């Protein structure tokens, strides 16, 4: 069955070989042909092929679905009081993670599944067609494994984050916890995850612990990604590049040496505007990354502590307003950039052979995500 989406005012393809030749590969007055779960053709509407069915887009914009490459969606509980305290001047140091760990261990699998499904629905309604999610609020072998099994039912992009923080029950023997994360816990989780991640930052894990844990994961076939540079500068970003991690995330305190290492390597820098917004942290200057040639992604970091948003549109608006992205760079980072951060070449681009994952806006241009902040402009979401 073929479907032609016709009369698209602005089609963003992320294929620089078509349309205006920019990285977004914008075709105006365009059409898009879907065959089954794949894109079959894109081009000017005047050249559109025949199809079994035709859907008119009435001159609106069509873009690749968002690829949210960083979220923490398997959890229970609420930390609105912690957020309110922060807005009254309390600093964020990750200490609240323990609150969510306690609530998550308490919760039934059904409750965790229902909360994940609720958040996945929010993501989808906001235009996200691929999302990653992590464990990291269980921090025991059975609770981490349970979180990943629950996540796996909704996305193939699952990440083992047993090394989120040292849990309270191990505070007097962190080495034992590091050995557990890289040993029995990893063995229980490896079949339920694609990725392994470590929170390598002040108050979490240092660079030697992170290297040890990530290497153990790599040895059993997981691929590395890393949280680093959120709470202060450190060696985590360069560790990610040295291990050829797919992505290093946050990078709020990236140094010039970090940015040079990123530009020379294959690791994407994933910036998380929701985290700076919700923790009142300084904005990373995206120009430093972009102008040095670093591949940059934008993601929600949705989690109950530091960034409780599922809205990529909101993240784009903040990235443009406060981090120095142009609207075009922010859109690319939220779509093709996210796909790179997950090492996926089947999503994030609208071209023949790619997955038919796209969104239609109730607006004439993708620029409206930043121009009309907070407005639900995603009208239709097509997933495969
Ligand atoms: O990405 N940085 C570590 N983890 C999360 C926050 C977790 C929490 O506060 O619950 C983050 O910001
Ligand atoms: Fe995170």
Nearest bound ligand to the CA of residue 229: 1
Which residues 6+ apart lie within 8 Å of 153 measured at CB?
113
CA of 25 to the centre of ligand 1 (A): 34
* Burial of 245 (C-beta count, 10 Å sphere; 0-12/13-18/19+): buried
Q: Residue 372 has what pLDDT?
A: 98
Residue 227 beta carbon below 6 angstroms from any ligand 1 atom: yes
Residue 267: Cβ-neighbour burial (10 angstroms; 0-12, 13-18, 19+): buried
How far is C-alpha 31 from the geometric centre of its chain's CA atoms? Answer: 28
Q: What is the CA radius of gyration of the chain?
A: 21
CA pair distance 170, 183, nearest whole angstrom: 15
The pLDDT mean for the chain works out to: 98
Banded pLDDT at 104 (limits 50, 70, 90): very high
Q: Single out the residue of 226, 237, 244 nearest to residue 136, CA to CA.
A: 226
Span 178-190, pLDDT tens digits: 999 999 999 999 9
Angle 293-279-291 from CA coordinates, rounded to 5°: 10
- Yes or no: say if 152 and 113 are a contact pair by the CB < 8 Å rule: no
Task: Identify the H or E element spanning 238.
Answer: helix 236-242
Task: Give pLDDT, residue 116.
Answer: 98
Rounded distance between C-alpha atoms, residue 195 and residue 202, angstroms:
22
Residue 75 beta carbon below 6 angstroms from any ligand 1 atom: no
Residue-wise pLDDT tens digits, 209-242:
999 999 999 999 999 999 999 999 999 999 999 9
Quote the pLDDT of residue 361: 98
CA–centroid distance, 165 to ligand 1, in Å, is 10
At 329-347, the pLDDT tens digits run 999 999 999 999 999 999 9
174 is in an annotated binding site: no
- Supply the residue whose CA is at minimum distance from atom 6 of ligand 1: 306
Q: Is 79 labelled as part of a ligand binding site?
A: yes
pLDDT of residue 267: 98
CB burial class (10 A; 0-12, 13-18, 19+) of residue 142?
exposed
Predicted confidence band of residue 254 (pLDDT cuts 50, 70, 90):
very high
CB 101 within 8 A of CB 138: yes
Take atom 12 of ligand 1 and give the residue whose Cα is closest.
306
Residue 172 banded pLDDT, cuts 50, 70, 90: very high
Q: How far apart are CA 179 and CA 185, in angstroms?
A: 9
Write the pLDDT tens digit of every residue in 265-324.
Answer: 999 999 999 999 999 999 999 999 999 999 999 999 999 999 999 999 999 999 999 999
Ligand 1 contacts CB of residue 94 (under 6 A): yes
């Amino acid at each position: 069955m073929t479907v032609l989406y016709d009369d698209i005012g602005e089609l963003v393809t992320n294929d620089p070989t078509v349309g205006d030749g920019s990285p977004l590969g914008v075709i105006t007055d365009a059409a898009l042909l879907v065959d089954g779960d794949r894109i079959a053709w894109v081009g000017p509407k005047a050249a559109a092929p025949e199809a079994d069915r035709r859907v008119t887009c009435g001159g609106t914009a069509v873009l690749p679905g968002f690829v949210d490459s960083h979220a923490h969606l398997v959890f229970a509980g609420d930390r609105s009081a912690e957020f309110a305290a922060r807005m009254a001047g309390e600093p964020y140091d990750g200490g609240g993670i323990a609150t969510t760990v306690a609530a998550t261990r308490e919760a039934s699998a059904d409750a965790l599944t229902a909360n994940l499904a609720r958040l996945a629905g929010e993501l989808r309604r906001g235009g996200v067609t691929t999302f990653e999610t992590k464990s990291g609020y269980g921090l025991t072998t059975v609770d981490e494994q349970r979180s990943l099994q629950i996540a796996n039912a909704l996305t193939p992009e699952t990440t083992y984050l047993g090394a989120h923080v040292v849990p309270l029950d191990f505070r007097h023997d962190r080495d034992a916890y590091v050995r557990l994360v890289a040993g029995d816990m990893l063995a229980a989780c490896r079949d339920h995850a694609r990725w392994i991640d470590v929170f390598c930052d002040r108050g979490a894990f240092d660079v030697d612990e992170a290297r040890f844990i990530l290497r153990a994961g790599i040895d059993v076939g997981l691929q590395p990604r890393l949280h680093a540079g959120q709470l202060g500068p450190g060696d985590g970003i360069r560790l990610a590049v040295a291990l050829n991690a797919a992505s290093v995330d946050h990078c709020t305190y990236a140094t010039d040496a970090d940015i040079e290492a990123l530009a020379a390597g294959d690791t994407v820098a994933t910036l998380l505007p929701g985290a700076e917004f919700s923790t009142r942290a300084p904005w990373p200057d995206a120009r430093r990354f972009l102008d040095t040639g670093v591949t940059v992604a934008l993601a929600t970091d949705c989690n109950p502590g530091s960034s409780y948003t599922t809205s990529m549109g909101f993240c784009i608006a903040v990235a443009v307003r406060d981090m120095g992205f142009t609207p075009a760079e922010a859109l690319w980072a939220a779509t093709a950039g996210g796909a790179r951060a997950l090492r996926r070449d089947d999503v994030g681009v609208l071209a023949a052979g790619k997955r038919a994952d796209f969104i239609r806006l109730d607006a004439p241009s993708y620029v409206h995500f930043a121009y009309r902040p907070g407005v639900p402009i995603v009208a239709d979401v097509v997933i495969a």
